Amino acid sequence: MANAGQLHMLYTCPFCWKVRGLLEHLDIPHERIQVNPMRTKKTLPSAPEWNKVPVWVDSNNEVHVDSTPIMKHIDSIHNGGKLWSSDDEERRDKWMDWVDLHMSKATIPILYGSLGSALKTTTRVSKLEKFGFFSKRLYAWAGFPVMWGIIAKKRVKKDGRTPKKLWHDLLSEFTNQFDGSMFFGGKTPDLVDLAAFGYVRSISPYPQFSQIEDHEAGMNWYRAVEATLKV
């Protein structure tokens, strides 16, 4: 089958993991273009209006931006909108907003919240992303004090909980919504499950993921969503 589109992405970007998970869940053939994090303004097809990843370019060369709208678009074109349809739209909308608000903010504290974890994360990011020769080295050394000392520290302090506790609370709050079902969407995952799954999965390449693996209900859900992917 021909490619349904191109996903312009960064490997380590949580918003890109959301769209990747959906494409793998629906088994949609596509091309992945890993952009140079220092050159998004020059190379993204949505630039200069939109300089963030992910960007989805469909087979008609239409450009789509912003991860949740991209997910809704892909579901509607390639899956008859089944993952977004719901008999309780209020609950669905409320929790999609909740996932995008809270889970998106929780990735930085766990990855960069302590000096050791920030160093591990930036070294790993510099290897996983397609930086240029010099920016790779620059990021590995200059990135971690910025991410740890400025961005993550402020967030952890503001929240007051350890990053692990924050994730455990989020996973409890989310899975408590399932009302005894396996997924937020009931017997099968829906778009809210896949969005939340993307945020959690974006932490999986790092050693800090073991702090999340301690959450039993969260992991049962995570592994069940993972089992639906055609990777």
Ligand X SMILES: N[C@@H](CCC(=O)N[C@@H](CS)C(=O)NCC(=O)O)C(=O)O
Which residues make up the interface to ligand X (CB under 6 A)?
A: 10, 13, 15, 40, 51-54, 66-67
Q: What tokens does 49 get? A: 């209006």
Nearer to ligand X, 51 or 79 (CB): 51
Nearer to ligand X, 100 or 190 (CB): 100
CB of 53 to ligand X, least distance (A): 4
For residue 63, report the phi and psi dihedrals to the nearest 5 degrees: -100, 130
CB of 181 to ligand X, least distance (A): 26
Nearer to ligand X, 40 or 121 (CB): 40
Does residue 33 contact residue 8 with C-beta atoms inside 8 Å? Answer: yes
CB of 129 to ligand X, least distance (A): 11
Nearer to ligand X, 53 or 203 (CB): 53
CB of 12 to ligand X, least distance (A): 7
State how far the Cα of 72 lies from the Cα of 79, in Å rounded to an integer: 10
State how far the Cα of 212 lies from the Cα of 195, in Å rounded to an integer: 17
Nearer to ligand X, 67 or 168 (CB): 67
CB of 167 to ligand X, least distance (A): 18
Q: Most distant CA pair in the chain: distance in Å?
A: 52
CB of 5 to ligand X, least distance (A): 15
The crossing angle, in degrees rounded to 10, of helices 14-25 and 191-201 is 130
The crossing angle, in degrees rounded to 10, of helices 191-201 and 104-112 is 10
State how far the Cα of 76 lies from the Cα of 83, in Å rounded to an integer: 8
Nearer to ligand X, 15 or 95 (CB): 15
For residue 146, report the phi and psi dihedrals to the nearest 5 degrees: -70, -50
The DSSP H or E segment spanning 17 is: helix 14-25
